[in-house]
Structure 1
């Protein structure tokens, strides 16, 4: 077994002051951030031990977020050593965390009275679907639509094309599938069944409803108001800042093209940008984000689901809002407690297919508990 050398926690810690804006008028404290947090040796060891599970070239970009301060920590495994790096504004694929942002667009549409919360897709859009299923926009956001995880007959194709499995799903392909081949495993509203198809269709349907591209909706309603300047679905515009993704064996991974299922996992972002989004959620007077956080379905005693967010009901009584993401070259996890006004972002450039990739989720939870214990 190799021995890993760690730099001092005080050298490794990269703390930067950032500003953050909100969809609605932000609280004054959000605009005047004062860094007050630092990492303990236990936190650094937890990050280091997790990073050591992955190949050379793997990076972690981590944000610790409160209502008044954001601190960033970057770590990079190079030549079997773990070194510090300033990557707070470097871009990663965030995979299924995109679903949270897609649901934010839904919350906007509901708040702006473009659609009703309980409105069915077929009542709002002229889209032919086999069997005429009556699922709602909300059911697409909370995975109770009854749709399969992937289009029927596609799972095997997905496994054979992990390098870029979604690239052919343009709007026409999806509409043909819905019209000719859609089979609903369950009735809408019956149970929770995680669906990349459903979340991707939500982004497509909102785009058609508002006669705007998914990218334009994101920029207009989320990224520009919150000053998330390096968040996008257009890889070309951030290519100079993009961290190269890695396969599970450590070679360069191909970036995923999500086509018109981008709402399920097509967003690229940074730890800094996502910290702005999380801080916006600390404003209880924001009507859109407050609406999005409402519980919409109980999965089990320990988990509810809101619009896009999973709500983890902890034994302490705290409610953590969480989502992770994974693509062929990246794995990420975001967790926040809006009531306590704390949150953690962990972005990495290691494949979701790595056998230890779920440890990144665990790391985000552990850091949340350790960093904000007091």
Structure 2
């Protein structure tokens, strides 16, 4: 194994030397950092593109798009984008809004036919298209992956909505990032347009914007131009898809994606049609429900994160999943866009994007390294101490659940007739109780893989209500699923 890794390293070094530019410019320090990331972190390849004032001033690929076939990465290599799919899907949605076919402030359920949202709390009619696009509709944490070498078929989106589209917080109350929401949006796009989501996006977004290396999943004939997704051990990951393609399934190149970003900066680029007016673009970049509980100083518009950092307004999105790490940043006040794509999970896109931004933007500082929240001993409030009983609802059945909060911080959970289990990582903030535990949920979708249960419950007087999410364990970089169920508990006298 040591010789294999050494051979791989020699191959990477040879490729990096071969692709070094023969001239020096202001991005040379970034090139050096990219080569260091590839060698030190084992990322197979990195592709970058930078636009300023409507012109691509740098685009380049480094490393291997496909190690086994010895295909080098370049600016036109197609990468899996993961969640950068969301602003792209949102752009497609807004073309229908602009055409008067969708009203952002109508209930999403009006466009779903028989596949309705279920309001466990609040009113489903307040779950508007706008709020779904901004992750404030009350939908829960959700993702579900399907690998081509495993015998599990992707369900129709209507079935997924019927099973899992539960509003677990009142619409507008709380920001909760939800892939399910963008699965619902791609379903709405398909129903309203009369085309498949993939065909609609190709016809109404990709081709008009001149994005010739951008597709939903991998388009026919584009396989040779697509970067292979690799796990942390350098092994290719089998192709996978989702039941929320609008949130995760787009592939694009650094060249195409920076052109997409340039469109959102209102630049008129060669070969692009203005599929959205300036007012529609501004609407996408405006935070939705700013009162919703979210990290201070940041917001989410229609498919875009919006924040201010180091004095600069930043409109952005990132993506991460098995074999993918990506970032796209727009700086509207400076008319600058940055794209970094990789074909393995790593922190490289954030690190490289920061170095590019520091080159372009005076005073830009590196982003803090994400850390796990500090684990502190749990000390329950008097309102929590005691015994809580209620019901867990799954798509097929219901199960009794009991939670017991002790004064000393110990929490016991009993699901059905299972043995009591302890709740770990407990915390209570802003009226919500969170914690993890091991329990079995009677749902065939969650039985396919090992998992733990994450609780996110709102304290409302004598009731604790919210999400019990079965989160599948990651296996060799294979992300599995996060399937949320409704849990309602009442404090016992």
The bucket for the TM-score relative to the shorter chain is: 0.7 to 0.9
CA deviation profile, 1:246-291 (whole Å, cap 9, x unmatched): 0111101112222x41101011111111111111122176343233
Which of 222, 247, 252 is the equivalent residue of 2:205? 222
Decide whether the 8 Å contact of 2:19 with 2:62 is kept in 1.
no
Match of 2:137 in 1: 145
Count residues in correspondence. 333
Match of 2:156 in 1: 170
1:275 has 2:270 as partner: no
Decide whether the 8 Å contact of 2:46 with 2:73 is kept in 1.
no
1:363 has 2:357 as partner: no
CA deviation profile, 1:178-218 (whole Å, cap 9, x unmatched): 5xxx4432111111110011111111122112222111221
For residues 41-120 of structure 1, what are the structure 2 equivalents within 5 Å?
Answer: 41-55=28-42, 58-70=44-56, 71-76=58-63, 87-120=74-107
Distance across 2 between alignment mates of 1:297 and 1:112: 24
Match of 1:244 in 2: 228
Match of 1:340 in 2: 334
Decide whether the 8 Å contact of 1:75 with 1:84 is kept in 2.
no
| Shift of residue 368, structure 1, vs aligned partner | 1.7
| Shift of residue 176, structure 1, vs aligned partner | 3.5
Per the alignment, do residues 183 and 295 of structure 1 end up closer, same or farther by CA in structure 2, a change over 3 Å counting? closer
Distance across 1 between alignment mates of 2:218 and 2:33: 32
| Shift of residue 138, structure 1, vs aligned partner | 1.0
CA deviation profile, 1:2-37 (whole Å, cap 9, x unmatched): 99969999962499xxxxxxxxxxxxxxxxxxxxx9
For residues 257-272 of structure 1, what are the structure 2 equivalents within 5 Å?
Answer: 257-258=241-242, 260-272=243-255
Distance across 1 between alignment mates of 2:343 and 2:22: 19
Larger strand fraction of residues: 2
Per the alignment, do residues 293 and 165 of structure 1 end up closer, same or farther by CA in structure 2, a change over 3 Å counting? farther
Decide whether the 8 Å contact of 1:59 with 1:77 is kept in 2.
yes
Decide whether the 8 Å contact of 2:231 with 2:323 is kept in 1.
yes
Distance across 2 between alignment mates of 1:245 and 1:91: 11
The two structures, once aligned, show a CA RMSD in angstroms of 3.4
Match of 2:436 in 1: none
SS in 1 for 2:314: strand
Deviates more, 1:249-258 or 1:277-286: 277-286
Which of 250, 256, 261 is the equivalent residue of 2:240? 256
Distance across 2 between alignment mates of 1:332 and 1:270: 11
SS in 1 for 2:244: helix
Distance across 2 between alignment mates of 1:116 and 1:49: 48
* Ranges in structure 1 where 5+ consecutive residues have no aligned partner: 16-36
| Shift of residue 366, structure 1, vs aligned partner | 2.6
Distance across 2 between alignment mates of 1:202 and 1:93: 20
Distance across 1 between alignment mates of 2:288 and 2:151: 30
Match of 1:309 in 2: 304
Match of 1:28 in 2: none
1:191 has 2:174 as partner: yes
1:328 has 2:322 as partner: yes
Between the two structures, name the one with larger relative contact order (CA 8 Å, sep ≥ 6).
1
For residues 202-213 of structure 1, what are the structure 2 equivalents within 5 Å?
Answer: 202-213=185-196
Decide whether the 8 Å contact of 2:216 with 2:249 is kept in 1.
yes
Per the alignment, do residues 123 and 342 of structure 1 end up closer, same or farther by CA in structure 2, a change over 3 Å counting? same
Distance across 2 between alignment mates of 1:240 and 1:85: 11
**Normalized against structure 2, the TM-score is what?**
0.61
Decide whether the 8 Å contact of 2:286 with 2:306 is kept in 1.
no
Distance across 2 between alignment mates of 1:190 and 1:369: 36
Per the alignment, do residues 313 and 246 of structure 1 end up closer, same or farther by CA in structure 2, a change over 3 Å counting? same
Decide whether the 8 Å contact of 1:13 with 1:38 is kept in 2.
no
Per the alignment, do residues 221 and 164 of structure 1 end up closer, same or farther by CA in structure 2, a change over 3 Å counting? farther
SS in 2 for 1:235: coil
SS in 2 for 1:116: coil
SS in 2 for 1:189: coil
Decide whether the 8 Å contact of 1:162 with 1:328 is kept in 2.
no
Distance across 1 between alignment mates of 2:76 and 2:197: 23
* Ranges in structure 2 where 5+ consecutive residues have no aligned partner: 1-5, 268-276, 364-493
Per the alignment, do residues 185 and 172 of structure 1 end up closer, same or farther by CA in structure 2, a change over 3 Å counting? closer
Deviates more, 1:94-103 or 1:6-15: 6-15
| Shift of residue 369, structure 1, vs aligned partner | 2.2
**Normalized against structure 1, the TM-score is what?**
0.78
Match of 2:488 in 1: none
Larger helix fraction of residues: 1
Decide whether the 8 Å contact of 2:104 with 2:130 is kept in 1.
yes
Decide whether the 8 Å contact of 1:204 with 1:214 is kept in 2.
yes
